[in-house]
Amino acid sequence: MRIKSLFLATIWSIGTLALGQLAFVAPVQARTTSNTAAVAVGSQYDTTHVYVASADVDPFVTSFLATFGGQSTKQVVATVTPTPSSTTSQLLQTPVGTVSLFGFKTGIPYPFGAERTGYLVTDMDTAITAARAAGADVIVSPFPDPIGRDAVIQWPGGVNMQLYWHTTPPAYAAFQTVPENRVYISPDRAATFIRSFVAFSHGKIASDDAHAPGIEIGRPNDTYRRIRIESTFGKMTVHVTDGHLPYPYGRELTGYEVTHLGDTLSKAKASGAKVLVEPYSSAGRDAALVQFPGGYIAEIHAVGGK
């Protein structure tokens, strides 16, 4: 489900993972074709969905904005599900990514809370048709909200996303750096997931490394398969793993690119966030994992060792 202010709203071919001595898989094609309609609007309209306890809403907002800059829309209390519920809702807009923030005052209706992102689409019915044609399940059929329509879809491998549409199209500034949707998936479903999502997003495989450094998933003595996808929706990094992941890897939903990692981590710690994985260098970037008040875990990285 998309979290928003009522006023502004709110990974063809890959197979098994190359961790250690696991089977080699032929590289994915650099580009794929799609017969589905293109429905993406832009990466600045794609939000990470964050759910925290009501008491953690304000501390999370303070820490997240102090870390990345930006601003929040006005907080409102609303029903943003097709069944009765109540939550605070606001949009945190920063130069490096957007968060749709929920602080539910009631129980969270199933299956809401499991979707990782909200993607703005040009037309909901066309998007639903395209998603189904690409292999997604519609697990929450389209329903109206005060400013448009919403739905939740699930990709092969159990990756849930929300689609949303506004009656009045929003106009948000482009990001300074585009965040990455970080997906962890099994070798059994990786090929199908990639084929499906690339077809739906009209995206391309930007890179496919069958022997990416295992330090990126907390296993410095191993390698694994990492695929990066780019589309109008934004960036996605797909981690194909055997599921033997040390905490907190696999818990982070989004990777944020910043100019200076050290400076950003200092701001995060000063505002109440915890560094769960200290900075490390791999494949041209320095990265760390941080937990914000309320439990939200994020990857933060700088390109070129900054």
Q: What is the pLDDT of residues 220-247, one digit of tens each?
A: 999 999 999 999 999 999 999 999 999 9
Count of other CB atoms within 10 angstroms of residue 7: 13
Quickly state the pLDDT bin for 19 (edges 50, 70, 90): very low
For 26-30, 159-163, 195-199, 265-269, which range has the lowest pLDDT when averaged over its residues?
26-30
> Is the pLDDT confidence value at 32 over 80?
no
Res. 31: pLDDT tops 60: no
Identify which of 284, 265, 279, 287 has the alpha carbon closest to the alpha carbon of residue 68.
265
Distance in angstroms (rounded) separating the CA atoms of residues 240 and 69: 32
Q: Does the pLDDT at position 26 exceed 60?
A: no
- What pLDDT, on a 0 to 100 scale, did the predictor assign at position 6? 41
Percent of the chain with pLDDT over 90: 86
pLDDT tens-digit profile of 95-123? 999 999 999 999 999 999 999 999 999 99
| pLDDT tier for residue 198 given thresholds of 50, 70 and 90 | very high
How many Cβ atoms sit within 10 Å of the Cβ of residue 232? Answer: 16
pLDDT for the residue numbered 2: 46
Which residue has tokens 């292999």? 135
| Host H or E run for residue 196 | helix 187-201
Task: Give me the pLDDT at residue 145, please.
Answer: 87
> Residue 263: which residues within 8 A CB-CB, separation 6 or more?
none
By three-state DSSP, how is residue 211 classified?
strand
Q: Residue 35's pLDDT is what?
A: 83
Q: What is the mean pLDDT of residues 118-143?
A: 98
Q: How far from 168 is each of 122, 128, 209, CA to CA, in Å?
A: 11, 19, 41
To 5 degrees, how large is the angle CA 230–CA 239–CA 194?
Answer: 50
Report yes or no: 31 and 45 within 8 Å, Cβ to Cβ. Answer: no
